[in-house]
Chain A
Amino acid sequence: MAKGENKKKETIVDWIEYRLPIFSFLRHLGEYRTPKNLNYMWNFGSIAGIALVIQIVTGIVLAMHYSPNDATAFSSVEYIMRNVNYGWLLRYIHAVGASMFFVAVYIHIARGMYYGSYKSPRELVWFFGLFIFILMMATAFMGYVLPWGQMSFWGATVITNLFSAIPLVGESVVRWLWGGFSVGDATLNRFFALHYLLPFVIVGVVIIHIMALHVHGSNNPKGVEVQSKNDTVPFHPYYTVKDFVGFGVYFLVFAYFVFYQPNYLGHPDNYIESNPMVTPEHIVPEWYFLPFYAILRAIPSKLGGVVMMFSGILVLFALPWLDHSKVKSASYRPLFRVMFWVFIFDVIALGYLGGQPPEGIYVFLGRLATAYYFTHFMFILPFVSRYEKPLPLPKSISSKE
């Protein structure tokens, strides 16, 4: 402080700010202008953020007690459930939390699709969101393997086997992924390492997602851009307090599942220790993968199925160009709005069909729903955006119409 005294009064805050502008950054967060008409659908971004934090915190503590070894993994999870103080709570929060994270992210994505949040100038926000989604799926898949129950083992076997569909090198790739000639100890170890790593990669991509978002700010239910300060409110306190209302409701649903239905979203077979000699009758992935699983099974060729399943995710990257209507919000797009809800219905149908045995009518319905999924993106959206007559847009966010 000696040097500072010759000048006026230099506070510690000034001293730090001069060297590392952390406080002006915090001020940016506080003063960040946000459209004032965001509805509760806009809560799910911050909810997804808190879901990620919950997964990381509970996951780190679980990792302190978990043993990633094929002989001890299953019993170490039971040890957590029985002998670690509040271990049952940590594990159920982590397991239910994965599902809750996907709920939040699926609603967040659907909201973006309904209000055209992926459109110019937010295409990169959309892209980085999709990167997060893909990373999440990889992380969740590997996490589900760690308890080393029957579904863990056989789910890992089925999904890693998908890579054997790659022409020529498929078999070698699968053996490389396994670290052996079947899913085993080496597989479990690397999945654990990656399951611990990827959430931090997600954090990095989330930061990029938010940086890109803050360049042009949030989209809003009217889909017209901010024109004056009158259209906005500072993020704090307006949206911090609103986010907390959302957190409250989200946590209530979360807590209900953790305390009263902790195993509802899991599969009973995963309480049977993995056994390479016994194949479960139906191998089903976690619910949040079911729509993509249905696409995979709809194609009567292994390679084709794998390609279509990945296409089902990758097609989302083309969304800003497939839907080239200048009008963002579905509120002013009567036809698009109908097609949006049909699409949501189709995805839910795919999810249902993905959980059914691949026989009889389910096979046909699965193919129909798969065909519609791609038709929506490749044909319906381009045509709707060309021929639809949108309703007149409001002049601004603040205008009353």
Chain B
Amino acid sequence: MSLKKAIAFIVFTAFISSASASNVEKPKETEWPFDGIFGYFDKQAIQRGFKVFKEVCSACHSIKYLEYGNLTKVGFSEAEVKTIAAEYNVQDGPNDQGDMFERPARLTDYFHTPFANEQAARAANNGAHPPDLSLIVKAREDGANYIHSLLTGYQDPPEGVEVPDGMHYNPYFPNHNIAMTPPLTAGAVEYTDGTEDSIDQMSKDVVMFLQWVAEPKMEERKILGIKVMLYLFIFTIVFYLAKKKIWSDVK
């Protein structure tokens, strides 16, 4: 153990990119309906969020783990979902002639992806690759707050900060320069339920949608959790009392 080499460079850290942590802004705290032990999905908000996703985000981002049919779980009727699915074409086949063919999407198809592959996505986006959003809420630290902060956090760069060409300043993004143009503008999506179509509201709605896409079984999990915890609580007390009784004759 030669501690004298304390100043020497740790060879091992060559494996680890130890780029000094940039001063990333901590995400804003928002109270979400899905938070906590009694957290639930606000289906109305999720439906609005889907509209935002479909009309804005889906131009560049995929959600490849979502089937159209899953949308019936958040309050869309089967007929509505069928109509949504039919807006997109998917490749199917081969048919009896051995040819591939296009047909309208069905409930069991996965959600339409905007680009055929990563290269196509980069080519269309100034070299940037818009990530798949199926798991984005779970794939980021404090995901829901992070995404909401990011979507609403675009601002002018502070004095003296140069933003590279094609980039946008956003203090919540790891190096403050994000390739995504500010995606939301007030009124970009027409809400049919009378909800105000502000940037903040659209951002919250799309986060609630993405939370559901990332963890569709969350509500089921939390409800089952309460039952299991209650059961275990009683289980523990019963065995504790039994233990007291059985041990009462041990001196």
A241, B239: Cβ atoms under 8 Å? Answer: yes
Supposing A78-B134, A82-B216 touch, asked if A36 and B250 sit within 8 A by C-beta, the answer is yes
B233, A252: Cβ atoms under 8 Å? Answer: yes
Supposing A75-B65, A283-B16, A296-B12 touch, asked if A245 and B221 sit within 8 A by C-beta, the answer is no
The smallest beta-carbon distance between A301 and chain B, in angstroms, is 6
B21, A357: Cβ atoms under 8 Å? Answer: yes
Q: Does A124 contact B (CB under 8 A)?
A: no
Counted as pairs of residues, one from A and one from B, with CB atoms less than 8 Å apart, the total is 136
Supposing A238-B246, A367-B6 touch, asked if A297 and B13 sit within 8 A by C-beta, the answer is yes
The A contact surface, by secondary structure, is helix
How many residues of chain B are within 8 Å of chain A by beta carbon?
A: 52
Supposing A251-B232, A260-B225, A371-B3 touch, asked if A302 and B11 sit within 8 A by C-beta, the answer is yes
Q: Does A169 contact B (CB under 8 A)?
A: no
Residues of A within 8 A of B182 (CB): none
Supposing A78-B134, A272-B139, A357-B21 touch, asked if A363 and B10 sit within 8 A by C-beta, the answer is yes
In the complex, A272→B143 CA distance in Å?
13
B222, A259: Cβ atoms under 8 Å? Answer: yes
A268, B140: Cβ atoms under 8 Å? Answer: yes
Supposing A251-B232, A300-B10, A308-B1 touch, asked if A357 and B224 sit within 8 A by C-beta, the answer is no
A89, B1: Cβ atoms under 8 Å? Answer: no
B138, A259: Cβ atoms under 8 Å? Answer: no
A82, B217: Cβ atoms under 8 Å? Answer: yes
B1, A268: Cβ atoms under 8 Å? Answer: no
The smallest beta-carbon distance between A33 and chain B, in angstroms, is 13
B250, A233: Cβ atoms under 8 Å? Answer: yes
B246, A281: Cβ atoms under 8 Å? Answer: no
Interface string of B7-34 (1 = CB under 8 A from A): 0111111011111110000000000000
How many residues of chain A are within 8 Å of chain B by beta carbon?
A: 57
In the complex, A247→B174 CA distance in Å?
43
B222, A237: Cβ atoms under 8 Å? Answer: no
A359, B18: Cβ atoms under 8 Å? Answer: yes
The smallest beta-carbon distance between A77 and chain B, in angstroms, is 10
In the complex, A259→B226 CA distance in Å?
8
Interface residue from A244, A245, A255 paired with B229 (Cβ < 8 Å):
A255
B13, A301: Cβ atoms under 8 Å? Answer: no
In the complex, A279→B19 CA distance in Å?
12
B216, A241: Cβ atoms under 8 Å? Answer: no
Residues of B within 8 A of A279 (CB): 17
A:258-303 near B, CB below 8 Å:
258-260, 262-263, 268-269, 271-272, 279-283, 296-297, 299-302
Q: Does A81 contact B (CB under 8 A)?
A: yes
Q: Does A30 contact B (CB under 8 A)?
A: no
Residues of A within 8 A of B233 (CB): 252
Interface residue from B20, B139, B217, B225 paired with A359 (Cβ < 8 Å):
B20
A238, B225: Cβ atoms under 8 Å? Answer: no
Residues of A within 8 A of B188 (CB): none
Q: Does A50 contact B (CB under 8 A)?
A: no
Closest chain A residue to B223, Cβ basis:
A259
Supposing A255-B232, A271-B138, A357-B18 touch, asked if A297 and B10 sit within 8 A by C-beta, the answer is yes
Closest chain B residue to A230, Cβ basis:
B251
Closest chain B residue to A241, Cβ basis:
B243
Residues of B within 8 A of A297 (CB): 10, 12-13
Beyond contacts A241-B239, A279-B17, A371-B1: 4 other A-B pairs, Cβ-Cβ < 8 A, are A244-B242, A245-B243, A248-B232, A297-B12
Can you list 16 contacts pairing A with B, beta carbon distance less than 8 Å? A75-B65, A157-B15, A244-B242, A245-B240, A252-B232, A258-B225, A262-B221, A271-B139, A280-B17, A282-B16, A300-B6, A305-B11, A305-B12, A357-B16, A357-B18, A367-B3
Q: Which chain B residues have a beta carbon within 8 Å of chain A's beta carbons?
A: 1, 3, 5-6, 8-13, 15-21, 37, 65, 131, 134-135, 138-141, 143, 174, 214, 216-217, 220-222, 224-226, 228-229, 232-233, 235-237, 239-240, 242-243, 246-247, 250-251
In the A-B complex, the 5 residue pairs with the closest CB atoms = A259-B225, A248-B236, A271-B139, A300-B8, A244-B239
